[in-house]
Structure formats: structure tokens, C-alpha cells
Structure 1
Amino acid sequence: MRHLASVTGLRAAIAAAVITFTTSIGGTAVAQSAATYPERRVTFVVPYAAGGATDVVARLLASRLQEAWKQTIVVENKSGAGGVIGNDFVAKAPADGYTVLVAITQIIQAPSLMSSLPYDVFKDLAPVSQVALSPIVLTIPDAQPMKSLKDLIDLAKASPGKYAYGSFGNATTSHLYGELLKQTAAIDMNHVPYRGSAPLLNDLLGNQITAAFVDLTTAGPQLAAGKVRALAVGGETRKKVLPDVPTLAELGYPGFEAEGWIGLFVPKATPKDIVTRLSAELARIIASPEGMAGLQAVNLIPVGGTAHSFEATLKRDFDRWATVARTAGVRGE
């Protein structure tokens, strides 16, 4: 019996030692991966076409990050389905910090607008950093005769269903703004979704659509050139670069105070040390004079901050945009 007990005790001790050793090795591997990250190329995935605000920000950050880390950072555009294709690609990518999603507010709006999604933003993705706020502008082609929001609304009311407005994708801030305006102004305009802001602006310039809700980053140069005109802006206040353009609330249409943003995510199981390192480096870049100037030059409002603060923003905005979706009458697609 004593022999049996000693054998049993020895087996238990060996098992405990194996577990301790395995745990130690695993912990060391994670620590080493965080300490040496990145050891190879990092890919920034943009779920929209090249040329839009999300793409511009991704390339700006990738360039600065590449300089700081002396490691290749590439940008890949995986557009389609209003951002869902690119979002899903990253949600299912290896959780090692080498595939990073550059997303917009759509990612937190879509659950209230789409009947099903192939991923869950809270379960499958980890927030890294809220980069910047992205103002939205209601624009029309210069070829259009309207001079004010009232003119556009009067035109739409005179011919219900005849005119169309464009958005940079289904289940985006652009789409929600459009549907909310239809509800609050009691007008009927067809929604035409595009695969990003750049192709949307191209059709706006070509007078293929009557009006569009476009991000200020994409529309800014054409507004300055006089090729498109701004009728109103979203958000709580007027924008410094468009001081004479009123907010939608000023014009009597409340509900547009919530603004879009651009933020970075990684797959959920990515080691926290890697998330923290990436978040801290991005915060440093965004807060630097060069980072601030770069974002402001494309009409974005810099934010930065920690992964934790961005997570709090996601939870707040999930409820905020769900309310907008209900008010706008947008249903799952």
C-alpha cells in the first residue's frame, strides 16, 4: 500500500510539473511574441475601395507605423457588402496581430440594420484604437440647381421617388443619415449604395445622382474646387473648414448629432500585450504633430486613446445608432 501511495504521489508530482512547465512555456511564448512584435509584414485591411477616407487613414497610419517599427506595413482593400467582406476577413484571420482591420462606424451600426452577419463585432474582434471622427456632408453636384437643403426637399416632394441619393455603402453612417432625412423631412428618394466613398463621389461629380452623404475627407477637395456643393453637415457643430454650412439640426432636422469614426481592430484572441503595444504606438502617432496635421489635412478630427476607451465608445455607439436606425425606419437586409 505504501508503495502504491508513493507511486501515485510520484505520478501526481510529475503531472503537476508537466502542467507547470507547459504553462510556463506558453506564457513565455506569448511574452516573447509581444516583445518582438512585429517580426514580419503587417497587413492593414480596408473594407472599402481605395481613395475614400478609410483608405486615406490606413495609408497614413501604415506609413508612420512602418517608419517607427522598421517593418513593412501594407494596405489591402477588400470591399463589398457595405464593409462586411473586409470585416469578416479580419474576424476570421489568425489572431497574431499581423492582420489589422481599419473600420468605420458601420461595424457597430450593421447589427441593427442587417438580419444576419457572419461575425459578431463584440465576440470576434478586439478594439485597438479610435483614430478619428469623420464628419459627413450632404452634397450635390454643381450641375444641380438647388442652393439649399430646402430646395432639395422641395424638389423631392414635388416628384416622390424620382430622385436618388447615394451613400458609401449599406448599413453605414451615410445610409442612416439618408434614411433619417427621408423620415424627418417626409420625402421619398431612392437609396443607391456604393462600394466606398470614392466611387460615390465619382458619380456625384458626373451628376449621376441628385445628392449624397459623403465623408468630408473624400468630398473636401471637390468642395474646395467648386465641383460639388455642401447643403448641410452632420454632428453637433459646424465644421471649421465649412464655416458657412449649417448643421442639419440648425436647419430643423434633429437626430444627426452622432458622427462617424474610423477605428482599428484585430481578431478577438490576439494577445493583449500585442493589442496594447499596437494601440500605444498608434496613440503616439495620432497625438504627434505630424499625425495631427496629417489627419486634419484630410478633414478628420483626431482622437487616439486606448483600446479600453475605444471599447467603451463601441458599447455607447451600438445603442446610439440602434436608436437612429429605429427612427429612420431602416430594417434588416
Structure 2
Amino acid sequence: MPMLKIRSRRRALAASLAAAVASLGLAPMAAQAQAWPAKPIKLVVPYAPGGATDILARLVATHLQTSLGQPVVVENKPGAAGVLGNDFVAKSAPDGYTVLLGITAIIQSATLLKLPYDPYKDFMPVSMLATSTSLLSVPKTLPVKNIAEFVQLIKSQPGKHSYGTYGAGSSSHIQGEALKAQAGLDLVHVPYKGAAPMVNDLLGGQISAAFVDAGTARAHVASGAFKVLAVTGTERLKMAPDAPLLSEAGYRLFEPKGWFGFFVPAGTPTLVVNKLSGEIARITRLPEVSKRIDDLGQVPVGSTPAAFAEVIRKDGPLYAKLIKDLNIKLD
């Protein structure tokens, strides 16, 4: 037999053996994915207990463990504005047993911090649970009735007013700086360690304005404790139907909504991702769950992995540009 044919056959045999070995290695992984879940699932919340992210995680976990037949344990891993919890999940085994409930900050922080993980490469989007909008709110004692009067007042008293945020680099900070830049306002930025102290000072009149997330604002809007001048997003809010969208008032780049979404480590089997996503979407549509999300001031979604990935693909560059253009930095 010619030497050329012998070598050709040897190469073909080697390729066949390599394929066989690879298939043997994939077989156990496929079997494990088919059997998922076979043990408890850890649902990581990268923030302290009691906040909106924690409440939503526990709401979904209760229903997930019933439908999946395994305990779903919520673990709070706060620290470094969510980075510690995110990093824990990014470095966990990609087997579907460690899940993250993250928020928009997971992509915003990529422009602000040197992260120990890549939010675009080290996670797989599973499902967007809900979206949230912000309300430009002012103390009820501030003598303005709408955003035009607010802009006029601030311009007439330069250096005398301030606005509060949940912290440097947060959505409320980005929104505040965007309004300042477009309206030409002299407003001092006052960062707080979370929503509660910020809202307390807003109610007390120590700050003149704040972009407050819908969940935090809901009770205060209902009681008339502060006034809402405008809202972010693309639809007016039921809780403040008379407040125009920022876009209706002539301001740009306030359309993106904040979101809460589930992630797993990159490399998690597609079968597992799709099963988890399907369960989350089904749970989100349950009347008692969607009502609870609505009561928290959020809009229930329950998306596919592909739909969630598309939102991240669009939002990431948009926030990166905003943060750079507005010169937002972490002090």
C-alpha cells in the first residue's frame, strides 16, 4: 500500500479516536445537565438583606424550590457596591448551582472600576426579572410645580442647591449629572450610602432633589411626602400619572430602565440555562408574583436569555459613553 494512503488512514483513525474521546468527556456533562437540579441551589444577592434585590430574590426562590424540587437558598454577599457578590458567582463552578440576581450596576461599574471579573464574558444572562424607573423628586416645600419651574429656580440661585444619590457611580448619579449637563444647572452632588438616608434628607429638605427609584418612592408618592417632577423610562408611571417623561420635557438619554436579572457563571450548560430561564419566566407570570413585583414599584418581565443578553448589549455601551461624557468618577 502506498505510504501516502497509510498516512491518510492513520490521520483519519486519529481524528475518529479524538472525536470518540471528546464525546465520552461530554457525555457525563450532558447527563448532569439533564439531571439538573440534583442538589440545593445557591442564589446570591450581592447586597444587604432588606433591599429590593433581596426581596425579589426571596420571592422567586420560594417558588423555584417548589417547582424544581430542590432547596433554593438565598445568600447575601454585600460589599464594594455589589462587586464581592458578583465576583463570587463569576468564579463559581459553571454547573447551575450558583445563581446571581444582579442589577444594572453590574455593567455600569465596568466603566468606573477595575473589576476582578469581566461582566460581559464571565456571566451568562438567564432572565431579566423586572425593570425599574426613577422619579425626579423634590421636597414638598420646594416652591416648584414642574420641571420647568425647577430648572428656573436652580438657575436663579446658583450654588445654593444640591441633589442626592445612592452613591457615586449609581444610576441616580448618572441621571443627576445628565440633567445638570443638559439643563445647565449648578447643583452640588451629595452621595449617600443607599436609598434610605438619601430619602430622609430629601423629605427633610436638606437636599433639593433626587432621582429616586420607583420602589423606594412608591410609599412617599402615595402619601404626598414629596413631589414628582418627571420620570425616566419610556412610559408614564401609574403611581405618578401627571409626571411627564424626561424625554417629553425635552431631555435625552433617560430612556434606559434599571433592571434586575439572573446570571450564572459563563460555561454553564445551555440545557440548565434554558430550564432555569423558563422557570423564572413562568414564576414571574404568576398573578401573586407579578402583583408583588408591581407593589414594589417594578415592572415584571421574565425574559429569555437571548432577550436579556440583547438588553445588556445595548445598555453597556450607552452607560459607558454617558459615564465618560459626564466625567463621572468614584472619589
TM-score normalised by structure 1 residue count: 0.84
1:72-221 equivalent positions in 2, closer than 5 A: 72-112=71-111, 114-142=112-140, 144-221=142-219
Q: 1:235 to 1:278 in 2, by over 3 A?
A: same
Q: Aligned pair in 2 of structure 1 residues 281, 149: CA closer, same or farther (>3 Å)? A: same
Q: Distance in 1 between matches of 2:317 and 2:66?
A: 38
Unpaired stretches in structure 2, ≥5 consecutive residues: 1-8
Paired with 1:89 and 1:203, the residues of 2 have a C-alpha distance of 34
Quickly say closer, same or farther: Cα 1:319–1:50, change in 2 above 3 A: same
Q: Which amino acid aligns with 2:73?
A: V
Q: How does 1:239-278 map to 2 (within 5 A)?
A: 239-278=237-276
In structure 1, the residue matched to 2:20 is 20
Q: What are structure 1's unaligned runs of at least 5 residues?
A: 1-8
* Match 2:222 to one of 218, 221, 224: 224
Q: Give the drift of 1:282.
A: 0.6
Secondary structure at the aligned position of 1:274 is classed as helix
The structural deviation recorded for 1:195 is: 4.3
Q: Deviations over 1:54-80 (max 9, x none)?
A: 223222211221222232223233334
Aligned equivalent of 1:51: 50
Q: Secondary structure at the match of 1:103?
A: strand
Aligned to 1:4: none
Q: CA RMSD in A?
A: 3.0
Deviations 1:5-47 (CA, angstroms, capped at 9, x unpaired): xxxx99x9899769735742x3232223223322333222222
Q: 1:214 to 1:52 in 2, by over 3 A?
A: farther
Structure 2 CA distance, aligned partners of 1:97 and 1:199?
Answer: 37
* Contact 1:49–1:196 under 8 Å retained in 2: no
Deviation of 1:268 after TM superposition, in Å, equals 1.0
Query: Do the aligned residues in 2 keep the contact of 1:48 with 1:80 (CA within 8 Å)?
Result: yes
Query: Is contact 1:48–1:196 with CA below 8 Å preserved after alignment?
Result: no
Distance of 1:238 and 1:316 partners within structure 2: 22
Quick check: 1:82–1:168 contact (8 Å CA) kept in 2?
Answer: no
Amino acid at match of 1:70: G
Structure 1 equivalent of residue 6 of structure 2 = none
Note the C-alpha offset of 1:179: 0.9
Residue 148 (structure 1) shift: 3.4
SS of alignment partner, residue 32 of structure 2: helix
Partner residue of 1:282 out of 280, 286, 291: 280
Tell me the SS of whatever aligns to 1:137.
Answer: strand
Q: Which amino acid aligns with 2:155?
A: K
**Cα drift, residue 289 of structure 1:** 2.7
Question: What SS does structure 2 have at the residue aligned with 1:296?
Answer: helix
Within 2, Cα distance between the matches of 1:255 and 1:247?
11
Partner of 1:325: 323
Identity %: 44
Cα distance in 2 for residues equivalent to 1:95 and 1:162? 52
Query: In the TM superposition, what whole-angstrom CA distance separates every residue of 1:280-322 from its partner, at most 9, and x where no partner exists?
Result: 1111112233332222222222222211121122111122323
User: Which stretch has the larger CA shift, 230-239 or 68-77?
Assistant: 68-77
1:121 deviates by 1.1
Does the aligned pair in 2 maintain the 1:126–1:265 contact within 8 Å? Answer: yes
The residue type paired with residue 70 of structure 2 is Q
After superposition, the Cα gap between the structure-2 partners of 1:133 and 1:15, relative to the gap in structure 1 and judged at 3 Å, is closer
